[in-house]
Amino acid sequence: MELQSIMQHLDDTRDELVEILSGLNEEQLHKRKDASSWSVSQIGEHLCTVEELYVVAIRKGLKSNEDSFVESKPIEVLLDRSKKFEAPDMVKPMQEYLGCHEILKRLSNSRHKLYELLHSLEDPSVLSRRYFKHPAFQELSLLEWVKSLYIHEQRHMKQIREIIDAG
């Protein structure tokens, strides 16, 4: 999948996420499925943090001057909510209650940083020739890092819908 197509998926997924979040009231934003799960607000914070760290990881992967090809990984498994993934501590939410405006602002800022990086590439095909270690998938091409971002967001949109529908 080429970068333009991935970026369209990023845009479509983000538009859908913003629409979901914008339609929530304060009570829904801070609702949890149970005491041990994240609130919708915390999921929003997690998504901002993940995107910012993806930009860092992609930058690090781009620093390599060596072309190397890694096997494609089954990143679509992220869409399967029956498969549990433990978020690394660095992307676990810190805030208890972020408001909708703050979440949307942070999502906009993190996406701006990602697009700034992607648009700065002289040759976007470099993303398929470089890799960086991913916490869940190990060696992952930078192109798959970018692709996994919208898939990760779709996973959490399903989670948000589950929380809202539960009550």
Could you tell me which residues are beta bridge partners of residue 139? 133
Query: DSSP state, 63?
Result: T
Q: Which helix (H) or strand (E) holds 59?
A: helix 40-62
The C-alpha atoms of residue 145 and residue 18 are separated, in whole angstroms, by 21
In the chain, % of residues over pLDDT 90: 73
The whole-number average pLDDT for the span 80-98 is: 86
Mean pLDDT of 115-134: 95
Which residues are paired to 138 by β-bridges?
A: 134
What pLDDT is recorded for position 1? 57
Assign 58 a pLDDT band (cuts: 50, 70, 90). very high
The CA distance from 38 to 55, in Å, is: 24
Domain range 3-23+40-165, CATH class? mainly alpha
pLDDT of amino acid 126 = 95
